[in-house]
């Protein structure tokens, strides 16, 4: 789904605090992803980062210069608290910059 659909499907997502866990996650093809966690829903999600410029306004909404349909969201898992997530992905900062780092991430949710 694209980022607009993601937020429209559940308004709690839009109003919630979000915590970012890096924007250098990558797959075997070298595509880059941003990893974020939504406090209100517990959703940990990846956003594929296309060649668009993405900024955030004062209300926490994303402003995209480019085609919003290109911002694809994939939910990795549900984690009930920030502390539980931090335990689950301990060492993410180092893992994120390795080749095909999504494998490391997905191993923690299987």
pLDDT tens for each residue of 67-97: 556 678 999 999 999 999 999 999 999 999 9
Total number of domains in the chain:
1
Answer whether residue 25 is part of any domain: yes
Residue 5, pLDDT > 60, answer yes
Cα separation, 96 vs 75, whole angstroms = 17
Structure tokens at 92: 């993410």
- Neighbouring C-beta atoms of residue 37, cutoff 10 Å: 24
Structure confidence at residue 32 as a pLDDT band (50, 70, 90):
confident
Cα separation, 91 vs 13, whole angstroms = 26
Answer whether residue 66 is part of any domain: yes
Answer whether residue 23 is part of any domain: yes
Question: For residue 87, what are the domain limits?
Answer: 3-98
- Better-scored residue on pLDDT, 45 or 28: 45
Alpha helices, DSSP H only, in 10-101? 11-15, 82-88, 92-96
At residue 87's C-alpha, the angle toward residues 83 and 88, to 5°, is: 115
Convert the pLDDT of each residue in 43-54 to its tens digit: 999 998 665 445
Residue 17, pLDDT > 50, answer yes
- Neighbouring C-beta atoms of residue 4, cutoff 10 Å: 14
Answer whether residue 107 is part of any domain: no
Contact predicate 74/45, CB 8 Å: yes
Global confidence as pTM: 0.81
């Amino acid at each position: 789904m694209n980022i607009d659909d993601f937020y429209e499907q559940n308004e709690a997502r839009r109003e919630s605090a979000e915590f970012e866990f890096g924007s250098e996650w990558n797959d075997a093809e070298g595509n880059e992803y941003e990893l974020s966690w939504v406090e209100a829903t517990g959703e940990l999600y990846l956003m594929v980062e296309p060649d668009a410029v993405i900024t955030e306004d004062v209300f926490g909404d994303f402003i995209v210069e480019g085609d919003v349909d290109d911002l694809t969201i994939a939910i990795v898992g549900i984690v009930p608290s920030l502390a539980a997530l931090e335990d689950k992905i301990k060492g993410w900062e180092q893992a994120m910059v390795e080749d095909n780092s999504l494998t490391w991430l997905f191993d923690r949710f299987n």
